[in-house]
Chains A and B, each alone.
Chain A
Amino acid sequence: MTISLRKSVPHIVMLVYVVIILAPFLFILFSSFKSSNTEIAAHPFGLPKHWAFDNYKEAWVKAKINVYFFNSLYLAVSSAVVGVLMAAATSFALSRMRFKRTSAWIYQFVLIGMLIPGNVLFIAQYLLVSDLHILNTHWSLFLPYTAGALPFSVLLIVAFMRAIPNELEEAAIVDGMGVMRMFAQVILPLTVPALVTVFIVNFLGNWNEYLLSFFFISKDALRTLPTGMVQFRDAFQMNYALVCTGIVFSVVPVLIIYMFLQRKIIEGLTAGSVKG
């Protein structure tokens, strides 16, 4: 084997892998512009004869993808933001304030949450939200999403805050700063990289969540994108092009975010799994 051939073997193997990853997306993208099922079946990989842009308008409005999209967006953003802020405040108290003993206990207590697999709690959480009379409202998703992200967020942010040198806050105290201002103006700005990581991980988790949102929400107007998509597929089973359009709508925003923040996303998601 010549050296150049040997060098290209990894590339050939990886190219096959990359094609396997990307082919389904291309298939869906092309299908979404085709006007009929027969055209999809006849040329699965061919470009569409006429680009049926109407599919997009139809899916967005008629199939209510727009409703699902904004539900998902505001739920994912709001619970990720609230979760990050709560976790940041708690992490500050646990890592910087002088209640060492209590803090150690609380920290251990919160970390127990990382041992519990999510779907184990499903039935009990279902009964809990129905006891709280918030079933079929966005609260039934917002609260579990926010709570579910706390253990991992606290773990990561505490680790980050512990590395901040003590001298900083001593200087702040000498200058007469109160705790609140110290938290908001000294510690929080320094923690931004960790907060961004935690936010991204929580946002993606909420944006993609399926199990709770499928069973806790039955009003169509309140559905999120993952469950709305499944509903949409079941309703439009026969119109493949339209469902493919729906898939494009739900995948593209995530891919755009991924394009800009890929390093942060990969770092955050892998850190979460290894530490958990």
Chain B
Amino acid sequence: MKTTLKNPYIYLLFVLPTIALYFLFFIYPMITSFYYGFTDYNGLDAKNFIGFDNFANAFKDPDFRNSILNNVYILLFSCCVQVPLIVVFSLLISHVKRFQGFYKTTVFMPSILSTSVIGILWGYIYDPDVGLIDSILKSFGIEPIYFLADTKWALWSILITNAWQWMGFYIVLILAAILAIPKDIDEAAMIDGATGVQRAWYLTVPLIKPIINVVIMLSIAGALRVVDIVLVMTGGGPAGATDVMASYMVNKAIKYGDYGYGSALSIIIFAIALVLTALYQILIVRRQEKVEY
């Protein structure tokens, strides 16, 4: 009677298409990325094997180094500014009864929209002629700021837009964890006379540390994945002020046909992502004891 579920043809029929498609568009590109990364492939001439030259050039390339630095800024901003704010907002939402669902739905909304549409939308908010912010500034008699064309402001503008899009997503993640904590712990502390702030800081935050770690990990991964918003809002400009690793890689490959060099850059991005997540796991997550309640 077990033979029905041991039919190898059906098994193959069910598994093979998935494996084939997955191999073709995931594993094969991964392998070819590594291969191209060691060549000077430009789409026209024959490929020559050039060893580690691309990688050496990448770290000498001032524009790429600049784009790494921009990724670092995005990473620091999301871990040091966004994550604490996210925790505060989720604590606030968890403490209210009325409108809790409304707050949750509203803050989550931007993260289901297309990054490119959000880029266009915020491009208008930042617009010096008709934009929302400069219109408000003008009514106070302040000179309009060219948010996306000024090297001082461009990266900040992108950071704010990115935070606006993604913070709600993480708030909902943490909120779910807070709401899963049994109520009696909080009630016991309340009877002992702890204030709301004390309970939040000494009780809730330690209990949700694991999910905060997840959010930090996701923020690190997200900071390295930022690319759509840059391409749509500034294209990496002005003068590379907003170029991130991925946007630099895409431009190198598509605009200049530098596939070999671009592939080397993509491997560097992959390596940085793996190292950062592994480091965070080893240094922070492993050291913390498990939370039980």
Report whether B95 and A10 are in contact in the complex, using a CB–CB cutoff of 8 Å.
yes
Within 8 A of A (CB), among B161-208: 164, 168-169, 172-173, 176, 196
Does B224 interact with chain A (Cβ within 8 Å)?
Answer: yes
Contact pick for B112, options A96, A227, A265, CB 8 Å: A265
Within 8 A of A (CB), among B4-47: 4-8, 10-11, 13-15, 17-19, 21-22, 24-30, 32-33, 36, 43
Interface residue tally for chain A (C-beta within 8 Å): 97
> Which residues from chain A contact B26 at a C-beta distance below 8 Å?
112-113, 116, 121, 147-148, 151
Does B69 interact with chain A (Cβ within 8 Å)?
Answer: no
Nearest CB on B from A105, distance (A): 11
Nearest CB on B from A155, distance (A): 12
Task: State whether A21 and B262 are in contact (beta carbons under 8 Å apart), knowing that A121-B29, A121-B33, A143-B25 are contacts in the complex.
Answer: no
**Chain A, 155-174, contact with B by CB distance < 8 Å: what is the 0/1 string?**
00000000000000110011
Does A233 interact with chain B (Cβ within 8 Å)?
Answer: yes
Task: State whether A44 and B24 are in contact (beta carbons under 8 Å apart), knowing that A11-B99, A97-B5, A117-B224 are contacts in the complex.
Answer: no
> Which residues from chain B contact A215 at a C-beta distance below 8 Å?
250, 254
Nearest CB on B from A54, distance (A): 19
Q: Which 8 pairs between the two chains have the least Cβ-Cβ distance?
A: A124-B29, A147-B25, A208-B114, A93-B14, A226-B116, A90-B18, A10-B92, A89-B14
Binding site for A on B (CB under 8 A): 1-2, 4-8, 10-11, 13-15, 17-19, 21-22, 24-30, 32-33, 36, 43, 89, 92-93, 95-96, 98-99, 102-117, 119-125, 127, 129-130, 132, 135-136, 164, 168-169, 172-173, 176, 196, 214, 218, 221, 224-225, 227-228, 231-232, 246, 249-250, 253-254, 259, 262-263, 266-267, 269-270, 273-274
* Interchain residue pairs with CB less than 8 A apart (12): A37-B130, A44-B132, A44-B136, A86-B18, A117-B224, A151-B22, A177-B4, A180-B10, A182-B4, A209-B114, A243-B124, A247-B120
